[in-house]
Every structure is written in C-alpha cells, then in structure tokens.
C-alpha cells in the first residue's frame, strides 16, 4: 500500500469516451496506490473494457487526464504504456500453438535479448514467482492455466509497476486460481499494483483491497470488498435488488429423457479434442452439469448431441427412448431437443439477419413458424417479441439484426429463444457467458423452471459456481473423457478441480488430493 504522502501509481481524472450512439465512459475518476490490488467491477457494457484499453493505450479518451506516479502522461499506444510500466494480461490469449513457450514469449516483448539471456530471465521469473512451466514445450500441449502463465511471464519481463488482469480465472481450475492469487499477492508485496477485472465476486472478496464499481459508464461506488458480501457488490453493479434463484431440490425425477452410451466422436478442427466413450443420462426434471476447462471436448460433445457431426460419431444416443445417433439437427429438434452452442455469433445466430428470422432457424417446428413450405413472418415476429420481453433483451425490436445486439443481450435472446420452446431436452453450453449478474440470475431461474416442468437439462459450463448452484449431478470432461457422475450435494471442490486438471478416475483424484494435503501439512 502507498506510504503517507506518496502519490497514486495510477490516477484517472474525468475520463470520457464516446462512440456513435454510446457514452462508454462518463467522467470516470479513481486511483490505484502502489502495491494495491484494486478491482474494477461492472455489468457487461458498464465501460470496464474501454477504460482499461485507454489505460493501456489501445484507445484514447475524448476528455480527461491520466496521471502516473503523480505526473500527467499521454499513453499514445501500448508500447508507451509498457515503457511506463503498465502490463496487461488479456482474457483471450495471443499465442501460436505450434511454437514453444520461449518462442511465444520472444515474439511478444519490446526489449532485445539474446536467446541465452531470454532463457535465463524467463527461468528466473518462473522460479521467483513459483510458476510451473517448461519453456521448451510447444503451446498446443499446454493446459489453459499453463498458457495463461506464458502471458504473465511475458508481462513480468517488462518489470511492470501496474499489471492489468482481465477475467484471468474464467478458464482455470480451482487449484490454478489459488496459484495465480499467490503470484499476484507476491507481486503486490513487492510494490506492483494490480488492476483486476472479474465477474467472480467471491474472488474479488478474497483477493482485492478496493473495488471501483461502474454502471452505465460512470463510477457509482467505491468499497472495500472484504467488508462487503458478493450480493451487495452485485446489487451496486446492477443498481437494484438481485433476484434469488428459487429451486426446490428433489430426488423424484422422471424417466431418462437423454441417454448416451459410449459416445465417441472426432475432434472439431485441428486443435479440437476427440470424444472417447462418453456415457451419461439426464432424467425428466433433472439438471446435469458438465464441468471442465475450455478446450477439453465441450464443443465436440454439444455438436455430437445436437446432431451437427453428420454421422461422424459412434455409440448410442437416445432421446425419450428413441435411438437418434443417425438423426440430423432438424430431426433431433423434431424429437424434442433444443441446444445452445458456446459461440453465439455465427453458430447460435446469424448476425446479418433479423431477430425474428433467427427464431425461424431453430424454433420453426416447435413454435409453428412455418407452414406449407412458407415462413409465417407474423408468427416469427410475435415469438421474437415474446423472447425480447420475457428475457429483457435490449433491442429495437424483432426486426433488429442479431449483429446489432451487445454480446450479453444476444446471449439472452438465444437462451430465451430455446427455453421458451419448452423442449423435452435442452443442451446448453456456457448459458450465462458474458451476461451481467441480474441477467444470469434470470437465465438460471428460467432453467430451473424448465426442469420443474419436466424437461431434462444438460449444462456445459466453465463456471464451476454456476454448476454447483444449478445442478443435481455433475461430471468433469477432460481430454475428451468424462469422469464419474457425482451428486452435487456434499461434493468435494478439490476433487472436481483435480478432475478438471486431468485426473481421470476416483483413485487418481483421491491419490492426488492426499498428496496435495500431505505437501501442505509438510
């Protein structure tokens, strides 16, 4: 923390940024002290991303001033930011899969090192900050947590005085999150300031000393997260009461609506993951979760279940007792299945066509949006309007193009389009990806209500907290294999984390857990 009379490491005064039709940042002022871990919170569209891009020199403010160690500066571009001592670890990594860790690091730094000097510096950083990573390994062989460490090492090579972290734990196991926090706390103890962006409010409470909360582009509150609850911070973000998800847990489920037996399928794309003999069942009224770090076969699983693989999968899939391994997407939808893919732009929707036309793509059978070979445009518009109204989608109306919506609003529309069809089976990947706390609660309640009405729901999510709150049972997918199915009540988070990290069986996970507990005790 700053010593008495010491200027802030970073201070923003009156930062304002306008885009056509949008005031992204409106007179934003706050400061970050040396050695402080400072959270930046807000709903989607609150202005967080724009603000950190201004700090890092990717964008420029229309009005306002930036002070660095007490002196006003102009951050013209990221190279100037790095020269000042500002480092940034982005949410989406910029790495070359076929190159080694060291080669990727060399491509992303401004300083000129000899190869031997670079190896030495990287080894020193890995040792100093306890970051387990082999500089010689190729990136495509690494876990997501290991890939993030490349970005962290790349930033630390610049010797930053301020490190910006954008949603850094969204794809990490619980164990990797704790390792990351240890690194950030060590950096802060050495005087490096951390500006931390995350929607996981329990992490903010555990890590951060101060939080600045944005809403509608303006600073609406500053607080000490350690003295707040996750709920109180969420309510500051949305400017109102957070809706509780009401669910009556029961073991009284109906028959299997979805049953999968030894399903195998090829990888999706050159860096995908093939599925290996996956078996699971989801009963009427039940919500089953699939946890896992991104890139472990989730996309292939959804594609195989939804019928998008065109006969490439092997094994057996039953919908309401009817074998459908050979059925295509349209046939499976007729038989009662709806699905929501992870990629909303281009896969879950067509950006260039209207919302009403996008409803026709998936709801034409169940909602009667076509008849005698023709589209019933008025019915499609009515259905799109119902989705917009029910799920609070911010859009100009059914004729707005999908591409004109923000990511969070498009996610709400796609989820609503499928849920309101009241399918027998709903398979959904990342249901609340990119939506704010209030919208996430509404989507969760809609899924709970759908299950209560007798639907079977399979939720594939990287957000373990979401799965624990929603699901009756869950399994972990890693390397295209599915772990044993576990009851959520009384589940061991440590065991789930180990399974996410690559332990494929109960015995392996138990042994690893015992070893980890023994090492902590030692």
Average pLDDT of the residues in 507-514: 47
How many CB atoms neighbour CB 249 within 10 A?
Answer: 7
Q: How confident is the model at residue 4 (pLDDT cuts 50, 70, 90)?
A: low
For 340-366, the pLDDT digits (tens) are 998 888 899 999 999 999 999 999 999
Q: Which helix (H) or strand (E) covers residue 498, if one does?
A: helix 493-500
In contact, 66 and 12? CB cutoff 8 Å: yes
In contact, 102 and 119? CB cutoff 8 Å: yes
According to DSSP, the residues that pair with 264 across neighbouring strands are 314
For the cut 50, the answer to whether the pLDDT of residue 235 exceeds it is: yes
Q: How far apart are CA 12 and CA 35, in angstroms?
A: 17
Q: How far apart are CA 8 and CA 11, in angstroms?
A: 6
Token code pair at residue 25: 């940042």
What does the DSSP assignment read for 40-84? EEE-TTSSHHHHHHHHTTSS--SEEEEEETTEEE---SHHHHHHH
Query: 407 or 478: which carries more pLDDT confidence?
Result: 478
Please report where in the chains the tokens 């893919």 appear, as a residue.
341
Burial 161-196 (b: 16+ CB within 10 A, else e): bbbbbbbbbbbbbebbbebbbebbeebbeeebbbbb
Burial 447-479 (b: 16+ CB within 10 A, else e): bbebbeeebbbbbbbbbbebbbbbbbbbbbbbe
Q: How far apart are CA 16 and CA 26, in angstroms?
A: 5
Please report where in the chains the tokens 């295209």 appear, as a residue.
480
Backbone torsions φ then ψ of 265, nearest 5 degrees: -155, 150
For the cut 50, the answer to whether the pLDDT of residue 495 exceeds it is: yes
Query: 161 or 5: which carries more pLDDT confidence?
Result: 161
In contact, 188 and 35? CB cutoff 8 Å: yes
Residue 15: the pLDDT is 96
Q: How far apart are CA 1 and CA 36, in angstroms?
A: 5
Q: What is the dihedral of CA 268, 273, 278, 280, to 10 degrees?
A: -70
For the cut 60, the answer to whether the pLDDT of residue 475 exceeds it is: yes
Beta strands of 266-359 (E only): which ranges? 275-283, 287-291, 314-319, 322-323, 337-340
Residue 220: the pLDDT is 96
Please measure the distance between the N-terminal and C-terminal CA atoms of the chain and give it in whole angstroms: 31
- Give rounded-to-5 percent helix, strand, coil for the chain: 35, 25, 40
For 425-452, the pLDDT digits (tens) are 999 999 988 777 778 888 999 999 999 9
SS3 428: strand
The predicted model scores a pTM of: 0.76
Backbone torsions φ then ψ of 21, nearest 5 degrees: 80, 0
Complete domains list, the chain, with CATH: 10-238 (3.40.50.300), 253-336+423-522 (3.40.50.300), 343-422 (no CATH)
Q: Output the 3-class SS for 409-421.
A: HHHHHHHHHHHCC
> What integer best gives the mean pLDDT of the chain?
88
Q: How confident is the model at residue 43 (pLDDT cuts 50, 70, 90)?
A: confident
């Amino acid at each position: 923390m700053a010593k008495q009379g010491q200027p802030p490491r970073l201070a923003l005064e009156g930062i304002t940024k306008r885009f056509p039709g949008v005031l992204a940042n409106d007179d934003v002022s706050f400061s970050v002290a040396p050695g402080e871990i400072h959270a930046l919170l807000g709903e989607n569209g609150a202005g967080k991303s724009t603000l950190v891009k201004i700090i890092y020199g990717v964008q420029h403010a229309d009005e306002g001033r930036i002070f660095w160690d007490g002196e006003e500066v102009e951050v013209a571009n990221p190279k100037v930011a790095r020269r000042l001592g500002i480092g940034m670890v982005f949410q989406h990594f910029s790495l070359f899969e076929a190159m080694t860790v060291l080669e990727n690091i060399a491509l992303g730094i401004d300083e000129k090192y000899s190869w031997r000097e670079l190896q030495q510096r990287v080894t020193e950083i890995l040792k100093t900050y306890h970051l387990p990573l082999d500089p010689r390994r190729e990136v495509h062989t690494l876990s997501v947590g290991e890939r993030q460490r490349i970005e962290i090492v790349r930033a630390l090579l610049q010797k930053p005085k301020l490190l910006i972290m954008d949603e850094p734990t969204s794809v990490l196991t619980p164990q990797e999150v704790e390792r990351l926090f240890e690194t950030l706390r060590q950096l802060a103890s050495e005087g490096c300031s951390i500006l931390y962006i995350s929607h996981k409010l329990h992490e903010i409470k555990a890590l951060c000393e101060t939080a600045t909360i944005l809403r509608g582009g303006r600073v609406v509150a500053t607080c000490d997260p350690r003295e707040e609850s996750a709920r109180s911070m969420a309510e500051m973000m949305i400017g109102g009461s957070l809706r509780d998800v009401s669910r009556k847990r029961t073991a009284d489920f109906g028959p299997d609506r979805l049953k999968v037996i030894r399903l195998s399928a090829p990888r999706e794309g050159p860096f995908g993951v093939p599925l290996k003999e996956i078996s699971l069942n989801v009963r009427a009224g039940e919500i089953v979760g699939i946890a896992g770090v991104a890139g472990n076969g989730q996309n292939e699983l959804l594609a195989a279940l939804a019928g998008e693989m065109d006969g490439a999968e092997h094994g057996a899939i039953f919908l309401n007792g009817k074998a459908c391994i050979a059925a295509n997407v349209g046939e499976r939808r007729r038989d009662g299945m709806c699905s929501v893919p992870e990629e909303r732009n281009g896969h879950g929707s067509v950006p260039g066509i209207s919302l009403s036309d996008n409803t026709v793509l998936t709801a034409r059978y169940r909602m009667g949006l076509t008849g005698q070979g023709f589209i019933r445009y008025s019915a499609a518009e009515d259905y799109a309007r119902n989705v917009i109204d029910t799920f609070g989608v911010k859009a100009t109306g059914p004729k707005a193009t999908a591409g004109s919506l923000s990511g969070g609003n498009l996610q709400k529309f796609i989820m609503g389009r499928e849920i309101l069809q009241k399918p027998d089976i709903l398979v959904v990947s990342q249901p609340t990806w990119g939506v704010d706390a209030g919208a996430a609660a509404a989507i969760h309640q809609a899924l709970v209500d759908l299950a209560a009405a007798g639907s079977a729901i399979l939720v594939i999510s990287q957000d373990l907290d979401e799965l624990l709150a929603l699901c009756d049972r869950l399994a972990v997918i890693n390397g295209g294999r599915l772990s044993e199915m576990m009851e959520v009540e009384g589940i061991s988070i440590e065991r789930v984390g180990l399974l996410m990290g690559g332990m494929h069986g109960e015995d392996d996970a138990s042994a690893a857990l015992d070893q980890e507990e023994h090492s902590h005790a030692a």
